[in-house]
Amino acid sequence: MIFANGKLLPDSERKTVLAGLEAQLNASRTATPLEAETVIRAVDALGRRLEAGEFAPLLARFLPAGTAVDELFPLLRRETLEAKLSAELGPTPLHPRDFSKTTAHVLPLGVLFHIAPGNMPGLPVYTVLEGLLTGNLNLVKLPHGDKGLSLAAFHLLVEQEPRLAPFIYAFDLPSNQQEDMRALAALADGLVVWGGDGAIGAARALAGPGCKLIEWGHRLSFAYISGYGDKEAEMSALAAHIVETGQRLCSSCQVIFLDTEDREEGAAFCREFLPCLERAAAKRPGAGAGASASLSGHTALLERIVDGRAEGEALFRGRGCSVIFRPDRELELSPMEGNVLVKLLPRQELLSTLRRQKGRLQTVGLICAPEKREALASLLARAGLTHVTRAGSMSASFPGEAHDGEYPLRRYLRVADVER
């Protein structure tokens, strides 16, 4: 399916839409600019309808079972969007600024081509929302597996505010359709790519010399434990986070690092943490999820044994989950789905170890004694982490947060200095 001119169209219309797209985009750029207030008013109204349950059947159709829809409500509030603009662009966002001889006009980059990821439902809508808030026209390549959620959301948003119709075009387009991908990239002033090294490499090849490449690459996140404030509560919160996210988000915990060099202490932690993980896994929705998750961890260990990489490892296998104790100190992806890695990383080696993943670090769920928190948080930030959170809130969103250490709205704007 395609979303163009405020309408859902069959994919058979793709070539026709692409043929006339440049003229439509140019017409929109010369017409009345899109104001942030128009976007905020529409999103706030749609969010309130969502919270009232108006779209419950639609969400049940598209979202995975157990998705916490109520967590979206605060993100769709006027006050949240206004706070985002203010935090990222200052107290008078998008307003011209007068200097002695010139006026600096803050303008949209122009046309953004979003290559959206599929690791989180609704993320294509979120990246387009950032483009709309900055007044840009938005072309979207939807991820495989979106299953119509984003198309439905774009349709509802334009129904709520028809003035947004010329600013959103979405294509359920396979990546191997290179001719059409190149056609969309050729229209863009900025190419916004979400994904791993392969996706970013492909985007670099697509973006022409005059197109700004805006990368949001894959990141790695972990928990760091150096004592406890409330041990039972903190371990339970971390276990719930691991299971609820499936460890599929950039902010998901892949490795639990322990501030110790004692292997016996590490093994004891694994034995103690496994029941917490089992209790969280027992609450996971979906029949059979536990069996497949447990098998995933077991298979990962068997593969490493065959490859000769499993010396010194220990698998603590639970119901629907596992804890895998590894002797190295590297941050890496876990087998996911409730199978978490545990490694030893004493504080004095923390920075040197993490710097080997510079540019890929994102969130750390810090568990420690209260008197250690400030110093450890500072050290982790200096090592390159961009979010330092509590154990259970590694993937939580909050107003004013940066994205991978940057304010994204700034990347979607340009400044034109006009001499008076």
Domain CATH code at residue 280: 3.40.309.10
Query: Is 398 part of a structural domain of the chain?
Result: no
Q: Which residues contact 87 (CB under 8 A, 6 or more apart)?
A: 399, 400, 407
Statement to judge: residues 132 and 94 lie in one domain: yes
Tokens of 394: 């590694």
For residue 202, count other CB atoms closer than 10 A to its CB.
16
Residues 36 and 173 in one domain: yes
Query: Is residue 270 included in any domain, yes or no?
Result: yes
Residue 401 lies in a domain: no
Neighbour tally for 417: CB within 10 Å = 11
Asked whether residue 167 falls in the same domain as residue 226, the answer is no
Tell me, yes or no, whether 412 lies in a domain.
yes
Of 245, 251, 252, residue with least CA distance to 280: 245
Domains held by the chain: number = 2
Are 230 and 103 members of one domain? no
Q: Are residues 387 and 264 in the same domain?
A: yes
Residue 181: give its domain's CATH number.
3.40.605.10
Task: Please report whether residue 127 resides in a domain.
Answer: yes
Q: Is residue 400 part of a domain?
A: no
d(CA 133, CA 254): 33
pLDDT of residue 137: 98
Question: Residue 111 is part of which domain span?
Answer: 2-218+407-419
- Asked whether residue 89 falls in the same domain as residue 150, the answer is yes
**Angstrom distance (rounded) from CA 420 to CA 406:** 33
Task: Look at residue 338 and tell me if it is in a domain.
Answer: yes
pTM: 0.83
| 244 and 120, same domain (yes or no) | no
186 and 247 fall within a common domain: no
Shared domain check, 255 and 210: no
Each residue's pLDDT expressed in tens, for the chain with a length of 420 residues: 899 999 999 999 999 999 999 999 999 999 999 999 999 999 999 989 888 888 778 777 777 665 666 667 778 899 999 999 999 998 888 888 889 899 999 999 999 999 987 767 778 898 999 999 999 999 999 988 777 888 999 999 999 999 999 999 999 988 778 899 999 999 999 999 988 888 888 888 888 888 999 998 889 999 999 999 999 999 999 999 999 999 988 899 999 999 999 999 999 999 999 999 999 999 886 534 444 555 555 565 555 555 555 667 999 999 999 999 999 999 999 999 999 999 999 999 999 999 999 889 999 999 999 999 999 999 999 999 999 999 899 988 776 788 888 899 999 999 999 998
Q: Are residues 154 and 228 in the same domain?
A: no
Q: What is the pLDDT of residue 335?
A: 93
> Taken in order 19, 29, 110, 151, is the CA torsion positive or negative?
negative
C-alpha 99 chain-centroid distance: 38
Residue from 262, 253, 220 nearest 235 by CA: 253
DSSP letter for 94, please: T
Strand-pairing partners, residue 9, are 2
According to the model, what pLDDT value does residue 69 have?
65
Residue 129 lies in a domain: yes
| Residues 387, 262 within the same domain | yes
Residues 153, 162 contacting (CB under 8 angstroms): no
The 8 Å CB, 24+ separation contacts for 54-63 are 55/156, 58/152, 62/121, 62/147, 62/148, 62/149, 62/152, 63/121, 63/149
What pLDDT, on a 0 to 100 scale, did the predictor assign at position 302?
A: 57
The whole-angstrom separation of Cα 249 and Cα 394 is 10
Same domain, 136 and 253: no
